[in-house]
Amino acid sequence: MSLRRSIAVRLTLLFATVATLVLAALGVAIYLSARHDLVAQDFIELENKVALISDLAGNGPADGRALRLREALSHHPDIAFHIIDDRGSVLFSTAPALLRAHARLQPIDSTPRRHDWILADGRCMHALHLRQALADGSQLITLLAIDDDRHAAFLQRFRHLLAIAIIAAAVASSLLGGYVVRRTLRPLRTLADEARQITAGRLQRRLNARSAPAELEQLAQTLNGMLARLQQDFARLTEFSGDLAHELRTPITNMLTQVQVVLAHPRSNEAYRETLVSCAEELQRLAQIVGDLLYLAQAEAPGALPSREPVALDAVVDSLLEFYELLAEDRQLTLRREGAARIDGNRLMLHRAIANLLSNALKHATTGSEVRVRLAEADGVCRISVHNTGTPIAPELLPRLFDRFYRGERSRHDGAGLGLAITRAIAQAHGGTVSVVSEPTGTTFELVLPRTRP
């Protein structure tokens, strides 16, 4: 089983890829949301400090402000402060020079607004930069900032944890997906195993369609249908080889016996001649059978119609009636054609099909009766029927008439039983059918052929 073609491998890979992508997207979303929350918390902390500064600086004597601010704010090493009063003196400052230099170029807000500043050294700072009005009427210019790096270590650990969790989940879901896919495809393997058991000698076996899942049930039923047809065809083929051997054996045995008898003692020239004549007859019969079989094989092959041409069937029938005229006179039969029809088909094949029906009708017609060929066209089909009066064919024999080598009791010695099989093959090559109706009043064979290529 090639890996590239295996449905299980493909589905597993697809499942693993989708699971990994979904988990990775989820991981990125979780990480970004956590990071966003941390920054928001940083700003809330800065805003709280703004309120605290306002309280500390506004309540109490002005000359103690710097001290009060230092005592309260110096425990927050993570936050950079730079607080200036309205006279320009610095009350409290922990901000590095680079941050102060950056702040000097930035607008001073009147209410707290959140800023993300990138300093000259590339660091990112979350900052508030505002003018605060105090309770005693004076003002402060306050700068507070937190380095974005503050959570770097935590975020890195979080990233690692997420990556490990995602990889583990992707591996687990891929393995699980692989297992599920393999389990799901098991019925397919069962079907394949069952199919492998079916050989020419075990064509009666069928796939178990009912135990297959719904999606495979139809496939199994279709395959079973195909097996049934194959079994039928195979049986017919076996029967045909048997019949063929049987057919060929009789004339060969006849010849062999005659030749052995003649060779057993010295004979007159006349006796040798008789034997040769008799052998020639048998050989003629064999040649006829082999020729008919070859013709049948060609007519039954797909695309058997060599070429189509417009054929006037009345002319074909007339030439055949003329051909059979002498034979008919011998048996005091009258031959008649009714109607006319034209068809796109193969003249030689149609000639042969009608000839086969006519020769049968002449063989089986009651002496002194009429053999009638009727031609008609209607609804895009052309009907050719050949009727003769005679002993009706038993209904149970009707389905077998068109089989190869089938012949009735009376025809046992003068035909091979291939005429009707050939006629049917010709009808099918033209996209048509042949049927028979046999009643006490007579027997009618009818060819129904589409007038143009179907």
Ligand X SMILES: Nc1ncnc2c1ncn2[C@@H]1O[C@H](COP(=O)(O)OP(=O)(O)OP(=O)(O)O)[C@@H](O)[C@H]1O
Segment 75 to 114, residues that bind ligand X, using CB under 6 A: none
> Binding ligand X by CB under 6 A: which of 418, 427, 434, 449?
418
- For position 401 contacting ligand X by CB under 6 A, the verdict is yes
Contact call for residue 53 and ligand X (CB under 6 A): no
**Is residue 373 within the footprint of ligand X (CB under 6 A)?**
no
406, 431, 437, 450: which one binds ligand X (CB under 6 A): 406
Q: Residue 76 region, left (φ>0) first, then alpha (ψ -120 to 50), else beta? A: beta
Tell me how crowded residue 35 is: count the other CB atoms within 10 A of its CB.
16
Applying CB under 6 A, which of residues 411, 431, 435, 448 lies at the interface with ligand X?
A: 411
Q: What does 428 interact with, of ligand X, Mg ion, none (CB < 5 to 8 A by kind)?
A: none
Burial of 80 (0-12, 13-18, 19+ CB in 10 A): buried
In terms of CB distance, is 93 or 359 closer to Mg ion?
A: 359
Compute CA distances 300 → 293, 295, 417, 426, whole Å: 10, 9, 16, 8
Reading the block at residue 302, the tokens are 């797909």
| Contacted entry of Mg ion, ligand X, none for residue 361, CB cut-off 5 to 8 Å set by kind | ligand X
Residue 406 binding result from ligand X, Mg ion, none, given CB thresholds of 5 to 8 Å by partner type: ligand X
> From the CB of 348, what's the least distance to ligand X, in Å?
17
- Which 341-360 positions form the footprint of ligand X (CB under 6 A)? 356, 360
361 binds ligand X (CB under 6 A): yes
Tokens of 418: 């291939």
Q: Which is nearer to ligand X, 57 or 361 (CB)?
A: 361
- Look at residues 295, 280, 325, 310 and name the one whose alpha carbon lies nearest to residue 426: 295
447 is an interface residue for ligand X by CB under 6 A: no
Contact with Mg ion (CB under 5 A): which of 27, 419, 432, 442? 419
The closest residue (CB) to Mg ion is 419
Residue 354 near residue 448, CB atoms below 8 Å: no
Residue 426 is a binding residue for ligand X (CB under 6 A): no
- Shortest distance (Å) from residue 442 CB to Mg ion: 17
Paired tokens of 436: 């028979």
CB within 8 Å of 190: residues ≥ 6 apart? 208, 211, 212
Q: Looking only at residues 350 through 409 of this chain, which bind Mg ion when binding is defined by CB under 5 A?
A: 360
Pairwise CA distance, residues 445 & 359, whole Å: 12
Which among 252, 247, 260 is positioned nearest to 279, based on CA atoms? 252
**390 contacts ligand X (rule: CB under 6 A):** yes
- When asked if residue 145 is in the footprint of ligand X (CB under 6 A), the reply is no
- Cα separation values, 445 from 384, 388, 402, 410, 420, Å: 8, 9, 11, 18, 10
For 247, 299, 346, 377, 427, the CA distances from 305, given in Å and listed in that order, are: 28, 7, 7, 21, 10
- 138/359 with CB nearer Mg ion: 359
Alpha-carbon distance of 420 to 402, in angstroms, equals 5
CB of 419 to Mg ion, least distance (A): 3
| 54: Cα separation from own chain's centroid | 77
Q: Is 311 in the site for ligand X (CB under 6 A)?
A: no
By CB under 5 A, is residue 346 in contact with Mg ion?
A: no
Alpha carbons within 13 A on the beta-carbon side of 363: 17
| Smaller CB separation from Mg ion, 66 or 393 | 393
For residues 65 and 364, which CB has a smaller minimum distance to ligand X in the complex?
364
Is residue 425 within 8 A of residue 296, CB to CB? The reply is yes
Question: Does residue 8 belong to the site contacting ligand X (CB under 6 A)?
Answer: no
Supply the minimum distance, in Å, between the C-beta of residue 239 and ligand X.
Answer: 16
Q: Which stretch binds Mg ion (CB under 5 A): 131-139, 150-158, 336-344, 410-418?
A: 410-418
CB of 265 to Mg ion, least distance (A): 40
Considering the rule CB under 6 A, would residue 425 count as an interface residue with ligand X? no
Q: Which of the stretches 26-34, 274-282, 343-351, 407-415 binds ligand X when contact is defined by CB under 6 A?
A: 407-415
What length is written for the chain? Answer: 454
| CA separation for the pair 418, 424 (Å, rounded) | 10
When binding is defined by CB under 6 A, the residue of 126, 407, 430, 451 that contacts ligand X is 407
Q: Is residue 12 involved in binding Mg ion (CB under 5 A)?
A: no
Is 415 a residue that touches ligand X (CB under 6 A)? yes
The string of DSSP letters for 221-275 reads: HHHHHHHHHHHHHHHHHHHHHHHHHHHHHHHHHHHHHHHHHHHHS---HHHHHHH
The two structure tokens encoding residue 375:
């031609």
Which stretch, 205-213, 244-252, 280-288, 419-427, contacts Mg ion (CB under 5 A)? 419-427
Which residues make up the interface to ligand X (CB under 6 A)?
Answer: 356, 360-361, 364, 388, 390, 393, 401, 406-408, 411, 415-421, 443
Which residues make up the interface to Mg ion (CB under 5 A)?
Answer: 360, 415, 419
